[in-house]
Amino acid sequence: MIDKARIQLESGKGGDGIIAFDKTRRADGGSGGKGGDVYIVGDRGIFDFSKIVQTKTFRAESGHIGEKNKRTGKDGEDIEIHVPLVTKIFNEDDTEFLTITKEKVRVKILDGGIGGLGNFSLRGKGWDGKLSRTKGEDPQEKVLKLELNLKADVIFLGYPNAGKSSIVNALSNAKYRVAPYEFTTLQPQLAVMDGTVLMDLPGLIEGTYKGKGLGIKFLKHTKYSKLVIHCISLENEDLVKAYKEMRKEFKNISELLYSLPELILFTKSDIYSDEQLIEVKKSLKKNFKQFEVISVFKENDIKDFRETLKKRLGSISDTVI
């Protein structure tokens, strides 16, 4: 995932006016069209800058030159650069320019050049005017730096190999790499479930806040989230200890992360038979007030958890601007 980018922007040049005369030698040259503007647009369907960095310069179309019969040239097409929510935008000198937090809102960054005047517009200056025209205004240019703070509704956290990626895959149409070893998820992965954005963060270990494992560099992406899904594999010998240690790690990493509403999800229930699982749930109820148990191999589990997740999110007030 690419969460930083540097982009070059250029608006469209104004079209040149032209010198033209009708059959009676009267000035009728049209003015040039306006150059295209440059906009940045927030897009909920984009999660990083991988496509943006493939373009060296984002350039709007230049205005067309004027035409005979007093016709103004066609305006240049605007250009839109779509960025994820939430994208912080900085000037080249690192001063903050703006933050994109809303979807489908066009923010104008550069104005296109004004079109030059044709000799029809300058005819009031006598013969000098009739034999004159002006060039279109030069384009504006700007270099911006982009920094991503992902806007995900739900965060999936837990120890490495807790089954987070498998669950996100099952809840959505995402197809992330899944393997039975630690740190399969090396960077935040996002997926969409019925309009809800899910984020699978790299696995945490004891000491993550000190930089162990994959560290905390991706935790900035949790700022705008509403709910933490705390994934704990039923393979753990001591589930209570695993839960308490991870909650302690949450607090060491970030008070914000620690304070978010939590849903405890025990994963990999398929390691037990149906009869055994009944006893496991009875035992869990002695130590946990609220929790869910799931196997990604059981379709009903996924269906039920999807509905549980929607209801839980619906009960959380949306304070994100």
Q: pLDDT tens, 5-40?
A: 999 999 999 999 999 999 999 999 999 999 999 999
| Residue 151 scores a pLDDT above 70 | yes
Strand 196-200 vs strand 227-233: parallel, antiparallel, or unpaired? unpaired
Which of 83, 118, 148 is the C-terminal boundary of a domain? 148
Same domain, 45 and 92: yes
Number of domains in the chain: 2
Is the residue at 83 inside a domain? yes
Q: Are 222 and 320 in contact (CB under 8 A)?
A: no
Three-class SS of 281-304? HHHHHCCCCCCEECCCCCHHHHHH
Is the residue at 111 inside a domain? yes
Taking all residues of the chain, what is their mean pLDDT, rounded to a whole number? 87
In the structure, what pLDDT confidence band is assigned to residue 236 with cuts at 50, 70 and 90?
Answer: very high
Digit-coded pLDDT (tens) for 41-100: 999 888 889 999 999 899 999 999 999 999 999 999 999 999 998 899 999 999 999 999
Same domain, 138 and 260: no
Same domain, 158 and 307: yes
Is the residue at 267 inside a domain? yes
Provide the domain limits for residue 262.
154-314
Is the residue at 120 inside a domain? yes
Same domain, 80 and 219: no
Is the residue at 131 inside a domain? yes
Tokens of 194: 């019925």
Looking at per-residue pLDDT, the higher value among 271 and 187 belongs to 271
Which of 126, 148, 170 is the C-terminal boundary of a domain? 148
- C-alpha triplet 94, 77, 137: angle, nearest 5°: 70
Which of 148, 181, 202 is the C-terminal boundary of a domain? 148
Backbone angles phi, psi at 265, to 5 degrees: -125, 115
Same domain, 103 and 228: no
Same domain, 142 and 100: yes
Alpha carbon of residue 92 to chain centroid: 21
Taken as a whole, the chain contains a residue count of: 321
Same domain, 173 and 287: yes
Tell which residue, 70, 64, 65, has the closest CA to residue 28.
70
Q: Are 163 and 231 in contact (CB under 8 A)?
A: yes
Is the residue at 24 inside a domain? yes
For residue 240, the domain's CATH number is: 3.40.50.300
Percent of the chain as helix, strand, coil, to the nearest 5? 25, 25, 55
Same domain, 168 and 302: yes
Same domain, 229 and 89: no
Q: Taking residues 275-284, what's their average pLDDT? A: 95
Cα dist. 175→190, 238, 279 in Å? 10, 31, 33
Same domain, 241 and 300: yes
Cα dist. 181→94, 130, 203, 266, 296 in Å? 40, 79, 11, 18, 17
Digit-coded pLDDT (tens) for 182-202: 434 456 778 888 888 888 887
Tokens of 299: 């379709």
Same domain, 167 and 192: yes
Q: Taking residues 141-151, what's their average pLDDT? A: 90
Angle between helices 164-171 and 299-314 in degrees, nearest 10 = 80
Rounded to whole angstroms, the Cα distance separating 33 from 47 reads: 36
What integer pLDDT is reported at residue 181 of this predicted model?
A: 37
Is the residue at 321 inside a domain? no
Is the residue at 320 inside a domain? no
Residue 244: how many other CB atoms lie within 10 Å: 12
Q: Taking residues 86-115, what's their average pLDDT? A: 94
Same domain, 293 and 195: yes
| Residue 153 scores a pLDDT above 70 | yes
